[in-house]
Every structure is written in structure tokens, then in C-alpha cells.
Amino acid sequence: MSRKILVALGSVALALSLAACGGEGAGDDSSTSGDKPADLTIGVSMPTQTSERWIADGNSVKEKLTAKGYKVDLQYANDDIPTQSQQVDQMITQGADVLIIAAIDGTALSSQLQAAADKKIPVIAYDRLIRDSKNVDFYVSFDNYKVGVAQANALLTGLGLLKADGSKGTATGPFNIELFAGSLDDNNAHFFFSGAMDTLKPFIDAGTLKVKSGQTKIEQVAILRWQQETAQKRMEDLLTKSYNDGSKVQGVLSPYDGLSRGIITALQNAGYGSAANPMPPVTGQDAEIASVKLINDGVQNSTIFKDTRLLAEQAVIAAEAFLQDKTPTANDTKTYDNGVKVVPSYLLPVVTVYKDNIKKELIDSGYYTAEEVAAGQAK
């Protein structure tokens, strides 16, 4: 063959091999399986630092990845959608090898995820499913429907309609309750609410539970961005509008500790919390330290403990699998349809925490110390 043809063939081969690399520059092959951890960066995008759970999540993921020698780019987005989009864009341009994302709005990251897919960067949705995109490769979370069921059961137990073992309680009601849900743009909010409502509905239908405000649809009870102040305001409005006839709220379904604290503040400001006017059972989620103290003090009824250490560990396992060009192991391949595809998921179990199992679940497991629980503040 002439030298000219050889050169031409050589450039075809080069072009082909570049194309196989997804159009990236030479040497930037998207396979990371042979790379050392120190040469790999994991972008971790978290929604907000206003809630301690996400701070704990971010820290756990970062610690675990750093301990394995990876570089970590951890960013918080202040609950602001454009900020999160920009941070993820930047992670991509700065060469992240895997992305772990807890989305603020589950539908707002499609173009970022497309950019990641174009560069063959795997995307792991962390606790919150990212919707309307085919470019979500894996989902790590808890069994979110069961969280809702557990919240409803905690409310029924708090009211005495169920016993702690789940059998029928001695109370008969009827009880006035109010319902709260999370942010409508968070896929989880829908799972929590449907798990809870499926459990409460028979009691509502039987007249044992009465939602005095009449607000039973998720759109009526949702709290945008899971804001504590918004929940407090809604509870204040409910008290003024629906309980101005001397009747009392006797139970509140709350899907998240931050909302629960807002609800409790509104109730306390309206005089609830004395022997004559007791604090109704208010549920929660996340075992945030300020709420664990309230539970310990007999103010909040319960929370659903989701061990962020375990969630972080699953995210790290999934990230490592992708970095080694493997597929992470899912334990659920049916539930989480994001509107475009069913995303393979790894779901962790949840535990309901009341005052009497704070020690077993949260202190003995090393999640908090007894001092932190007493102080209501984590070190």
C-alpha cells in the first residue's frame, strides 16, 4: 500500500476510535475502569443546607468517597433550581466521572442530564427520583410508599386507634385531623401521601377520622420546597378558619420533620401543649435532631428514621460500580417510573421512631449521642 493510503486509513481509524469515545478528545476515553480513584471525580449535587438531613447526606457521601481515594465535588443549591442546574452543568464541564444528584425539582434537570449522557457520565438519583429523562441510570432511596404508610400508622397509634403492635386500639374517635404533604415537584411527596392516604382512607370513610378543613387532596395540602414557615402559616390558617368554634385538632399527618416543627409552633402559639389542651400527635420524617429532641420531650409524636449513612453507602456502591464499567445491583426494577422509563433502584427499609425507641434506633446505632438528643443539636 502506498504511504498516502496508509495515512488515510490511519486517520479513518483515528476518527472511528474518537467516535467510539463519544466524540471526546483523544485520551479522554469514557471508560474509567482502569483509572485510579485519585484520577476520578464524583460530582455530588445536594438541594439545600437549610435542612440538616441534606447536610448529613452530603457529608456522608463525601466522607465515604474520600476514604476510597476519589475526588469529590460537593455542591449545595440553596433550594434554587437555576443554581442547581448551573452547578450540575459546571460539574459536567469540569470533567466529573459520575454524578450523584438529589434534585430540588425532579423535572428540571433534563438538559443537564442530556449533557451528561452525551459525555457518557452516569447519573445516580439520590433519594429523589429525577423525572422526564431517559438519562437517569440508577436510583438510591428508601421505600417511599412505606414511609407514608408508616406515618399514617404512627398517627393512628398516637390517636389510640391502633396499638403499637399494629392491632386495633381501644379509642373510637371520631377525631379531627389535618393533613400535610411535601413539595409537589418532589416525586417522593406523592409516594408519601399515597401511602398515608391508602392507610387513613378506611378510617376517614368510616367517619372515625374527620379532616375538618375538608382539604384532603395533595394539591390542597402540599408545602412548596418543604418549607417550615409555609407549614406553620398553613397550620395557623387552618386553626383560624376551621377551628374557631372551640373544636380542637386532634392529630396531624406531617411528612417531614421540618414541616412538623412549623406545625408544632403554630399549635403552641395557639395554646396547645398543656394538660387541658394537649398537643395532638404530629408525625414526621428524617429523624432530624431538633425533632428527635421534641419527640424525647413528648412534644412531637414520631419520626420516620431513614439512615442517611446507609443511603450514602448505597450511592457510593453504585458510583463505584459505574466507575468500574459495571451495572449496580438493583433490588427494585418496577416501582420508579420517571415518566420515560423505569429506573432501576436500590431501596432501603425505614424505621418508625417514637420516644421509647430513640435509644435503640438512634443512640445505640451511633446516629446521635444521648447528649445531642438532650440538646436537640448535632455536633
Applying CB under 6 A, the residues found at the interface with ligand GAL are 51, 53, 127-128, 182, 186, 188, 226, 256, 285-286, 306
Say what the alpha-carbon torsion angle 51, 301, 155, 50 is, to the nearest 10 degrees: -10
Torsion over CA: 58, 356, 196, 199 (sign): positive
Closest CA to 135 of 328, 343, 320: 343
Question: CA–CA separation, 156 vs 241, rounded Å?
Answer: 25
Closest CA to 329 of 342, 341, 345: 345
Nearest-approach distance from CB 91 to ligand GAL, in angstroms: 21
Q: Pick between residue 226 and residue 336 the one whose CB is nearest to ligand GAL.
A: 226
Q: Pick between residue 175 and residue 191 the one whose CB is nearest to ligand GAL.
A: 191
Nearest-approach distance from CB 306 to ligand GAL, in angstroms: 6
Question: CA–CA separation, 365 vs 223, rounded Å?
Answer: 32
Nearest-approach distance from CB 288 to ligand GAL, in angstroms: 9
Nearest-approach distance from CB 359 to ligand GAL, in angstroms: 22
Q: Pick between residue 41 and residue 302 the one whose CB is nearest to ligand GAL.
A: 302
Q: Pick between residue 35 and residue 229 the one whose CB is nearest to ligand GAL.
A: 229
Contact indicator for 280, 267 with CB cutoff of 8 Å: yes
The SS3 assignment for 304 reads strand
Q: Pick between residue 182 and residue 280 the one whose CB is nearest to ligand GAL.
A: 182
Q: Pick between residue 226 and residue 346 the one whose CB is nearest to ligand GAL.
A: 226
Task: List, as one string, the DSSP characters of 16-79.
Answer: HHHHHTTTPPTT--S--TTS-GGG-EEEEEES-SSSHHHHHHHHHHHHHHHHTT-EEEEEE-TT
Q: Pick between residue 53 and residue 64 the one whose CB is nearest to ligand GAL.
A: 53
Nearest-approach distance from CB 188 to ligand GAL, in angstroms: 4
Q: Pick between residue 307 and residue 320 the one whose CB is nearest to ligand GAL.
A: 307
Question: CA–CA separation, 285 vs 111, rounded Å?
Answer: 31
23 to each of 17, 44, 239, how far by Cα in Å? 9, 25, 60
Nearest-approach distance from CB 193 to ligand GAL, in angstroms: 12
Contact indicator for 113, 136 with CB cutoff of 8 Å: yes
Nearest-approach distance from CB 141 to ligand GAL, in angstroms: 7
Nearest-approach distance from CB 165 to ligand GAL, in angstroms: 26
